[in-house]
Structure 1
Amino acid sequence: MSFVPLVEEYRGNVLENVHYGAVSVVDESGKVLYAAGDPHHMTFLRSAAKPFQALPAMKRRIDEVYGLTGEETALFAASHRGESFHIDALESLMRKIGIQEDALHCCATYPLNEDAKAERHQNHEAKRRIFHNCSGKHSGMIALCKHMGWDEATYYQPEHPLQKEILETLADIAEVPVSSIPQGIDGCGLPIFAIPLDRIAYSFLKLACPDLIRDPETAEAAARIAKVMNEYPDIIADTKFVCSALLKDDNLTAKGGAKGVYGIGLRKERLAISLKVSDGSEQVWPCIIATILERLGYSNQATIDRLYELVPNEIFNDGGTLVGERRAVFEWNK
């Protein structure tokens, strides 16, 4: 069976919800050490692909070409949630590169962060493409096209040289043939890829431990994008989201994506984790990830505590009354 129960949610003593999914934990050889459900389940990376999609730009040192700050560079790998500091950094980045907002292929929207969204509504501001959580990634891609002399208007098309290079780079890091990678179109309009869940974990291990990457230029690029992700964790999501909470730990590289996919690399332990929640829930990520880290004997308790602070296992109603709990219920496959 591809998916097994990962988290159960109780209201009182009655089981109210079950979140199914799969988990894979791999070592530095790519071997699956622990799994729940099918560790090879074919999974779209969605926004978990962003650090890898940024590698072609990082290989050409686009940040240095345009004089970008570390904060601005981190946006290449971000699913920013539209807080004011994200928008300030994006506008600065786009000025330096010389990008007009309508050049971004992602659609106009409002910020994902509820407070930021409410602020824009209160100010009677219209939707903008720069508010889209993928606008930093798109800006980085256009910057690379400008530098390479590639067509900027079609950068999002699967046959574009940039998208072909991204696909080839991911295939090399994941150690799977390009021909075996199904493609789709992501929410922001860019090509997106599916690889087995254990290969997602292995790719994140290489992001955390780039000495495992065969190509020296790609290894250096991976080290540089991972470094800015850790240095500016709140840029990658926002001040109250899983990615930023994990990236505050310098031992981890981490990125989640839509529909419940997540990848984490552990530097000192040279292990990596990937997971897929089959119903797409992001709310149960903290419970699952904290449980995995606990089972692995992870030494940084502050990281685990941050996850439980984001989404406690205790369930409260709108008035603050304790009404239930969520429990991680998965066991490792025999």
Structure 2
Amino acid sequence: MTRGRRVQAAELEVRLLREGIIESKHYVQAVVCDSRGRTLLVAGNAETATFVRSGLKPFQALAVTTTGTLERYGLTDRDLAIICSSHQGRLEQVRQAFNVLWRSDVDPSHLQCPVPPGKRSPLEYNCSGKHAGMLAVCQQRNWPLNSYLQRSHPVQQLIIQKVAELLRMPAEEFISARDDCGAPTYFLQLGQIASLYALLSASENLDMERIVRAMTHHPAMVSGNGEFDTELMRLTEGELVSKSGAEGIQCIGRLGEGLGLAIKVMDGARRAKYAVAIHLLKQMGWITPAVSETLAENFMTLSKVTRLEVSGDLSML
């Protein structure tokens, strides 16, 4: 990330229009960085800090790709995609998360993510793939299974060390808190998040390249049919890797070019981050007009009488 000066520009504004009349507004910040950590474009403040939430999952998956766990248990790219996912608890997704545990000989009772309301198993929770991946690493390394979510556990220390290496920061400097699923998440600047996705999409690291391939080749595992991440990756046919996070986080990498986009809706609204992502991807030429139109129809037209409208642009430095 660019150091030594405060990088700031006007925020983006998302308006909910009801029959053309403004009913609500959301304010959004966004940053584009390259794989060298340089801030290239910004709306808002590149130094705004937020919890990365599920935007961290592809980097938590590095614990799986860098330890020989995939090879040890014969895990496939489809398994790796569910490890990176925030899935919808659909049958094929739940079965894939179970497959990670079954192949690594871990009983599902070791999962410590919650059981979703109205469901019967933690396998149906949206983070179960991530948890299954962590448990597989623990099994492969003979690390304790019953404490894998503790910040001091070796698998969590491995994950933060990988993130620290990518951002070229000491691991002990990161601020962490428990995510809703119980695993640690980290308080990062938007520029740092964008830099991570630039590195993920740069095709310079075999472990991250495999994660990207898994996500883009199996987009239905990453979120689900009709969900933003899945539809964006499907429509762009491997040109973009996309991962949403709670509280208004959206992260996108442009493959082969080492560019990353991080979006934060300041009030956490889910609908606004998708609208901004479509607006900015079209503005930057990362998606075609046809893809933009399809996405807008699905994620910016909310009903017969309501739609979202975005104003503002990314500023060059």
Provide the TM-score with structure 1 as the length reference.
0.86
Q: Structure 1 residue 56: deviation in Å?
A: 1.5
> How far does the alpha carbon of each residue in 1:48-101 deviate from its partner, in whole angstroms, 9 at most, with x for none?
100000102111232221122321221111111111111222233322222222
- What is the 5 A alignment of 1:138-149? 138-149=131-142
Structure 2 partner of 1:214: none
* Aligned mates of 2:251, 2:168 — CA distance in 1: 16
Q: Does the Cα contact within 8 Å between 2:202 and 2:257 map onto a contact in 1?
A: no
Instruction: Name whichever of 99-108 and 265-274 sits farther off.
Output: 265-274
How many residues in Structure 1 have an aligned counterpart in Structure 2? Answer: 307
* Aligned mates of 2:21, 2:186 — CA distance in 1: 39
Q: Which runs of 5+ in 1 are unaligned?
A: 111-120, 212-218, 317-321
Structure 2 partner of 1:82: 89
Q: 1:225 to 1:302 in 2, by over 3 A?
A: farther
Structure 1 partner of 2:3: none
- What is the 5 A alignment of 1:193-208? 193-208=186-201
Structure 2 partner of 1:319: none
The residue matched to 2:45 in structure 1 has which SS?
coil
Letter paired with 1:259:
E
Letter paired with 1:325:
R
Q: Structure 1 residue 297: deviation in Å?
A: 2.1
Q: Structure 1 residue 247: deviation in Å?
A: 2.1
Structure 1 partner of 2:159: 166
Instruction: Name whichever of 272-281 and 260-269 sits farther off.
Output: 260-269
Structure 2 partner of 1:191: 184
- What is the 5 A alignment of 1:123-272? 126-211=119-204, 219-248=205-234, 249=236, 250-272=238-260
The residue matched to 1:259 in structure 2 has which SS?
coil
Q: Does 2:285 correspond to 1:291?
A: no
Q: Does the Cα contact within 8 Å between 1:146 and 1:152 map onto a contact in 2?
A: yes
* Aligned mates of 1:329, 1:180 — CA distance in 2: 36
Which residue among 10, 33, 42 is the counterpart of 1:26? Answer: 33
Q: 1:232 to 1:308 in 2, by over 3 A?
A: same
Structure 2 partner of 1:4: 11
Q: Does the Cα contact within 8 Å between 2:47 and 2:189 map onto a contact in 1?
A: yes
* Aligned mates of 2:175, 2:90 — CA distance in 1: 34
Q: 1:281 to 1:160 in 2, by over 3 A?
A: same
Q: Structure 1 residue 220: deviation in Å?
A: 1.8
* Aligned mates of 1:306, 1:174 — CA distance in 2: 35
* Aligned mates of 1:299, 1:90 — CA distance in 2: 31
The residue matched to 1:274 in structure 2 has which SS?
strand
Q: Structure 1 residue 254: deviation in Å?
A: 1.6
* Aligned mates of 2:195, 2:241 — CA distance in 1: 12
Which residue among 34, 48, 51 is the counterpart of 2:55? Answer: 48
The residue matched to 1:155 in structure 2 has which SS?
coil
